[in-house]
Structure 1
Amino acid sequence: MIVEICAPNYQSAINAEIAGADRIELCAELAVGGITPSSGMIEQVIAAISIPVHVLIRPRSGGFCYTREEIEIIKKDILFCKKMKCAGVVVGLLNKDFTIDSQSMKELVSLAKPMHVTFHRAFDWIPDQKQALNTLIDLGVDSVLTSGKEVSAEKGISNLVELKEIANNQINILPGGGINSDNAILFKEKGFNQIHFSGTLIQDDQHPEKLSMNSPLLLRNEYVPISNIELIRSVLAVIRE
């Protein structure tokens, strides 16, 4: 069974290889579900470890419906990963109705090849996963990361098994979400050939006790933080009088 570790920083990537993982999904900021890591991190991780590196390509937190400009950013990040000889990229684009943005995904898959392409857990926001799975097969996507549309892969196991049967080896079903040492064997017993988890343990860091840099308001899927023109102008108006 292939074990993929979601590594949100350089040290996590190093630890994953030391622990015996088969590959990593490199990202940043797990608190918001992961975003694209910096080019510096990608380059340094590629140089430091020998197991395959799949890079999450997600330009921002929030939902998965992107503007044309954001899709251009995604394309540039994919090309950088190809230049760095990454083994794969992990990406997912949806329409406003939560169906797959097929046209954009077609462009991205074509651009990414011959790298492995995984459609990430945006898949779990799709109303009709069975139809979506066939769409991804037609698009040439190699894997889909999913919890079976539940809060954890363990709770979604029946859906995952059904998706694996529909896939019929035409696309890899990669269970992910809440997998740990207590339930990992379940996925092996159900015939899955790979699993995805982070294996993270919170490590203390130095910080002033009463001054947090976190904003709980921004840690919500329904919000995309965007600088507001009028708010900026209101401040400029005060200081430029």
Structure 2
Amino acid sequence: MKLEIIARDLYDIELINRSNADRIEFCSNLQVGGLTPTFFEIKNTFSKIPVNVMIRETNRDFIYSEDEMKLLLNEIEFCGKSNNISGVVFGMLTKENDIDIKHLKTAVSLAKEYNMTVTFHKAFDLINDFEEGYKILCDLKIDYVLTACGSNIIENITTLNKLKNIKGHTKILGGGGINSDNIDKVKDVVDEIHLGTLARENNSFNYPVDVLKINKLKKLITGG
């Protein structure tokens, strides 16, 4: 089972590379759920393990105007041309909290032009029908969906398990609210694990990434 760790800056990326983590999600402004890093940071990302970049300019919502889509596509293209980014992370919804298929298709198509993987982020937690939404992501050949299937991951174990058992193209990347008390249960109903605060000292984004802790968590989820 693969383990993805959130990085908030270039130093985090350096630290995570010293661990046994499998992948990095790179984003800024973690206090609002993560936004796009600066172009300078993206360009200067050096990592031996894959780095997926958050593409999200606002924490307002996940509804995109045409002008906002142009900005999002520009950021995807920048990541693609940087040649050091493995994937991009984004998500868009309609006003009714359904997946915005039109805009999503456009963004996925551009990312795939640069051979980057695509993760649909935690906007998925807000949609009306998880099974239908998951099938849409599979149809669009999205690689991962980062989700807790709602606001409380441990209360949504059954739903996560249902999605995993569909065995579609899109891998279930469990994330959001994972802690030392529930990680053992979550790992059994998802394909991969995504960690933020649990991978840090004092379980807080105010403290550094903890390499030894990451290695222990990797061992836990793989049964090694």
Please say whether Structure 1 and Structure 2 have the same fold, judged by a TM-score greater than 0.5. yes
- The yes-or-no answer on 1:103 pairing with 2:78 is no
Deviation for aligned residue 1:159: 1.4
How far apart, in 1, do the equivalents of 2:28 and 2:206 lie? 16
How far apart, in 2, do the equivalents of 1:16 and 1:159 lie? 31
Maintained 8 Å contact 1:149/1:159: no
Structure 1 residues 10 and 107, CA, compared in 2 at 3 Å: closer, same or farther?
A: same
Deviation for aligned residue 1:191: 5.2
How far apart, in 2, do the equivalents of 1:177 and 1:27 lie? 15
Deviation for aligned residue 1:202: 4.6
Long gaps (5+) in structure 2: 208-224
Q: Percent identity?
A: 40
Query: Helix, strand or coil: the match of 1:18?
Result: coil
Equivalence for 2:221 = none
How far apart, in 1, do the equivalents of 2:79 and 2:205 lie? 28
1:59 is matched by which residue type in structure 2? E
Deviation for aligned residue 1:181: 3.5
Equivalence for 1:177 = 176
TM-score normalised by structure 1 residue count: 0.78
Equivalence for 1:138 = 139
Long gaps (5+) in structure 1: 205-241
1:187 is matched by which residue type in structure 2? V
TM-score normalised by structure 2 residue count: 0.84
2:99 is matched by which residue type in structure 1? I
- The yes-or-no answer on 1:36 pairing with 2:41 is no
* 1:115-130 correspondence to structure 2 within 5 Å: 115-130=116-131
Structure 1 residues 40 and 164, CA, compared in 2 at 3 Å: closer, same or farther?
A: same
The superposition leaves residues 139-164 of structure 1 with CA deviations (integer Å, 9 ceiling, x where unpaired) of: 1211100012133x233222111111
Maintained 8 Å contact 2:5/2:23: yes
Query: Helix, strand or coil: the match of 2:44?
Result: helix
How far apart, in 2, do the equivalents of 1:202 and 1:51 lie? 21
Equivalence for 2:91 = 92
1:27 is matched by which residue type in structure 2? C
Deviation for aligned residue 1:104: 0.7
How far apart, in 2, do the equivalents of 1:17 and 1:180 lie? 22
How far apart, in 2, do the equivalents of 1:124 and 1:187 lie? 16
How far apart, in 2, do the equivalents of 1:97 and 1:165 lie? 27
* 1:10-25 correspondence to structure 2 within 5 Å: 10-25=10-25
The superposition leaves residues 71-94 of structure 1 with CA deviations (integer Å, 9 ceiling, x where unpaired) of: 000000000111112110001011
Query: Helix, strand or coil: the match of 1:164?
Result: helix
1:96 is matched by which residue type in structure 2? K
Question: RMSD of the alignment, in Å?
Answer: 1.5
Query: Helix, strand or coil: the match of 1:174?
Result: strand
Between 137-146 and 117-126, the greater mean CA deviation after superposition: 137-146
* 1:211-230 correspondence to structure 2 within 5 Å: none
Between 114-123 and 4-13, the greater mean CA deviation after superposition: 4-13
The structure showing larger relative contact order (alpha-carbon pairs under 8 Å, at least 6 residues apart) is: 2
Deviation for aligned residue 1:14: 1.7
Deviation for aligned residue 1:203: 4.0
1:78 is matched by which residue type in structure 2? I
The superposition leaves residues 32-89 of structure 1 with CA deviations (integer Å, 9 ceiling, x where unpaired) of: 11110111111222x2x21100001001112100110010000000001111121100
Instruction: Give the structure with higher Rg (CA).
Output: 1
Count of residues in Structure 1 that have an aligned counterpart in Structure 2: 199
